[in-house]
Every structure is written in structure tokens, then in C-alpha cells.
Structure 1
């Protein structure tokens, strides 16, 4: 598979000059340090040993501490997909990191926004991401054989995608009708070989009763994507990040990569997080109630001690073309999980459907013969 390396354009300003030769240093996935692109010199990144700090949800967002990214940034926007990202000041962007379009326009200095509290640095290299995609596409079932064998040319961009996490304590009260299954023996008649015969059968019925109670639960790190420019299904499949490996934000981690500006606000993110928490509370309450069936379930939940973090999580993103059609894939920059869209083979899909139909018809024929006296 051929891949274009993601290297900064000649006009890029070196935010982290090499102490040896003065060249531009970028974050290196293998050494987890800054590495000079010219002489190979390395410089370690001072890791903050303190835990990433949670911010009260009601905290004002205009404090200098919350807005300081630690490096000068400019905003660029794609005319085709609307994607907006942050790159070093005066660096030239020639291609959209989201859709691959060349229609990228500078928007000037970046608008104020909450800076990341924490980050997971890239651990998968560009070449490693390309190899993971090659193996992944080779295991797809319904893709054309030619696609499996072909070297797919694409441009991988390393992007830090913004996420919110939310912590909260909850207290819920609920009421519901609970159904319990009971069985009684009933006598029935049927005709077998032209003769009537009597038999007994266990018949199920449900007894309903009302119940009520309360339930409390604390939620930690409800993870919500703050990106609005990606296929949500692809992004959700990359969600196996190990948040236990979070480290405090340092601008050095962004050197050589792109940081997407969040397009889902802190308040919007909390709305999505609350919906996820509501779903989990509903499942938990149903398990606590027990019974065989539940109906008219009503839950009222109070949320308290709400805190948030703004994170940047590493993703390799690429678009590629196959037979004049564009597709996208992504690679988790920490775990190596691959998620993507691939071309489909109509012949393989048709053969699979026919095989399933044949198996179903065969099963029905065997079942029918087994019921014949």
C-alpha cells in the first residue's frame, strides 16, 4: 500500500526548534518524545504527574487558563465539508484533513475556545496505521477480490479529535407495573389421524402489580465526541480508547499533527451525555425491579456534582478512491482499531443471500417431514 507521508510544508513555522540544528521537531510515536526531522535529535516531554483535573460544569469559560493552548494557532476551514481545524500560525494547509478536498481557506487566528485538559498521544505511527488498514481490508467478506489485492493509495492525516467527558452523581425514583409469569394446566382436544383425543397443556398467564423504589449511581467519564464532521458510526467504532492512559495536555504532543476544533459545545455534549446516562439508569432500574415483564415504567432523575474535561484523542483519518468512488477509513491512534467504508461485491452478496435462502428452505423441508405421521 502506498501512502503519502504527512510532513509539514516548507513554510511551516517551527514551534519547537531542535537545540542541535535548529530544525523543526515533531512528536514521535515510537519514542513518545519530540524528534528533529533533520538531524534525528530527540527531546523528552516533561510529563505532568498530577491527575487530569475535572472542571465544574457551571465554571465560567472565559478564564485565561481555560483558553490558553500554549501555542499560537490559526483556524482553517474546508469549503467542501465545512470541517474546521487548528494548525500552527502561518503554516500552509493544502488539503482538508477530513475529506481530502483541496478547497481549504485560512480563517485567521483561532477563536477562543476551551483548551484541552488532557490528551492521549499518538502511539500508532503513520506506517503502522497504513499496515493495519491493509490487514483489515483483507479480512472483509463482501468486498471485491481485486480490492483486497490492490495497493490502495491514500493520504493519512494524524488528527487529534476533540471529546468531552462528564462525571455526575444521580439519584432516581421510579414506579412501574411488574408482570410475573404463572402457569396453569388446561385440558384441550385435538384431532389425530381422524380421531379426537384429549390432552393437557401448561398455559402461561401474567399477574401484574405496582412497584416503586429509588436508585443512585455515579457516572465517571461519559465519553462524548465533540466533532461534527465525521461519520458517527465510524467514530463510535473507534471508541475503545484507554482513558486510564490520559496525560496532561502539552502543546508538544500536537507538533506534526492537526487538532480539530470542537463543534459540539460543552452544553450540547452534556445533553448527549445525559441521554446516555438516562439509558443506562433505565437498564439498571429494570434489572433492580426484576420480574418477567415491565410496563408503564416512569423514572425521575436528579443530576448533581456535574464536572467535565475537554480531551484530544488520536485518530488517523484517510480518504481513498476505488473505481472513481470515494471511501473513508480511520485508525485509532492509540489502540490500532480500524473502522472504515469499503466497496461491496454484488456477486458475493447475491451468492450469500441465495445460500441463506437455500439453507432456510432446507430447514423448513426437514422440519415439515419430521411432523408427518
Structure 2
């Protein structure tokens, strides 16, 4: 048996073990203990620093009072613990107890498999969850990401949360993006643009450039004329809020009820096994939207805003519109024959002209009719 012990009160008791420093023990095959009061008790383990223990197979503990007890784990810093297989704990008083987990910072816990906790007093206890910031928790929800200060994920798994609590006794959330696609914000949404718009399909399939008064043609739209009794809006170049765009996927990807609400069903997700056959994510029930059988994932989807036959129509707010040169700021305008604005000189209603921005372009207030 080839061992090597050097220093003060060191012990190398396993084949090919190496102990050095003061009061160190290398009792695992091919292990290495160095520093002061360190123990490397497992195969190929390495303990260094002060009062560290590497008891997991091929584990590594370093720093002060750290323990690496899971196989192939790494604990570093001070009072950190890596107990889950392939886990990593670093910083101060951190715990990585989930398989393949990572805890860093101070007093953080990553107890869910594949979880990551960072910052101060954060807890990532859901499978493949992530907690960061200060005093945040994933609340056992899988796939959750929470950041900020003093808050807990509290709605759906596989979602994003922003915490804004005052202290642990008064937690809070400022925003959430849910796996359903819903966005919840406890505050204002701001934009340099100044109109609300909706997407409409053009009646002839041709594109409509920004700055035209728009009229309805059934459920589709066209450039307005002076004879149109109802003006739906003005074609918008950059809306502050755009509705009906279906930006991320085909709008009928999922089945809905008669009111357009997405239909969901419970699906049994099989257990996920590791390389050695161990269960790393157990079988569980997951609520999922029902796919439309008409949806073809092989077809590339083009959002409506990128297609010629769709146009964003500003319906409320400050909008730029083309004009024939007759309109004056502080006065009213109305649609002309070619969709351009023209001065509203006769008694009746029109749209208020805020300013002229170019020789043939106005900024008007749309959404309210003004009267002469």
C-alpha cells in the first residue's frame, strides 16, 4: 500500500492516499487531505483548507468548515454543504442538496434537482428552478425563476417572477410572466410611442403604409375616403401597444372554447431518470394547453406584423397622418378621398391637429371626435 503522510498528526490510511498539514486524514482510496483538520474519506476525494470534509466519491471540499458529501460534488467558501450528487455549494452557509444543484452567495439553498440559488437567503426548491436576489423562493414550483427582494413564486410553474417585498414579513411581487402567456404587472407600462393599435387584414391583401386614415371593409380594412361614415383608425408606424398580432405562434395553435379561452388538460409526465437509472424528476401531473390537430409544427410561422396583408391600425392616442397641406394645428381635420387628412372647415366633427411635423404630415389626436 503506497501512502504518504506528512506534517503534524496526519493520517493516510488508504492505498495511494496523501495527507499533509496538521490533523488531516486521507482514508479514501486515491484521496488527498491537506491543510488543517481536513478529512478526505471517499474514493478520489480532496479536502483542503480548515475543518473541511470530502466524504463523497470524487468530491472536493475547500475553504473553512465545508462539507462535500455527495458524489462528484464541490463545496467551497465557509460552512457550505454540497450533499446532492454532482452538486456545487459556494460562498457562506450555502446548501446544494438537490442533484445537479448549485447554491452560491450567502445562506442560499438549492434543494430541487437541477436548481440554482444565488444571492442572499434565497431558496430554489422546485425542480430545475432558479432563485436570485434577496429572500426569494420558488415555492416548490418546477421551472420557476424568481428575482428581486422578498417574494415568493405563487401562481404557476415554469414562469418568471419579480419580487418587490419590503421585508420577510411583507413580501410582494411586482411582475409575473406565466407559462400560459399571461403577463401581470403591478405598475405602469411606459413607451415612447403614443397609440393603441390592433392588427387588421387588408381587404385586397395589399400592404398599407403608415399614416393613412383607415375604414372597415367587412371585417377587413382599406384606406378611407371622404365618403366613409366610420373611420376605424390610422395606420400606425410604431404603436405603444399592439393587439391581435400573434407574434410568437399561430393564433389557433391551441384549442379554445367558443369565447376564445384556451382549453387545458392534465397530462402525466413520465419520470426522468439519470445515467445510473435513479429518478431525478419523479412522474407528475402537468396542466398543459390542448394542441389543435390542425397545427403543423413543421411549417415556419410568420407573425402578422411581418406579412404584407396585415396592418397595425392605431385606434386611440397620438398618431401621425398624411395630409394635403390644408390642415392647421389647433383646428380639426377629416379624411380626404385618398386617406389623407384634409381641413374640416364645414360644421361637424373631426380630429384635433396637435402639430405639423412635416410639409405633408400631421400629429393628430385620435379616439375622440371634436366638433366645430
TM-score where L is the length of structure 2? 0.19
* Bigger RCO (CA 8 Å, 6+ sep): 1
Task: Name the one with the larger helix percent.
Answer: 1
TM-score where L is the length of structure 1? 0.19
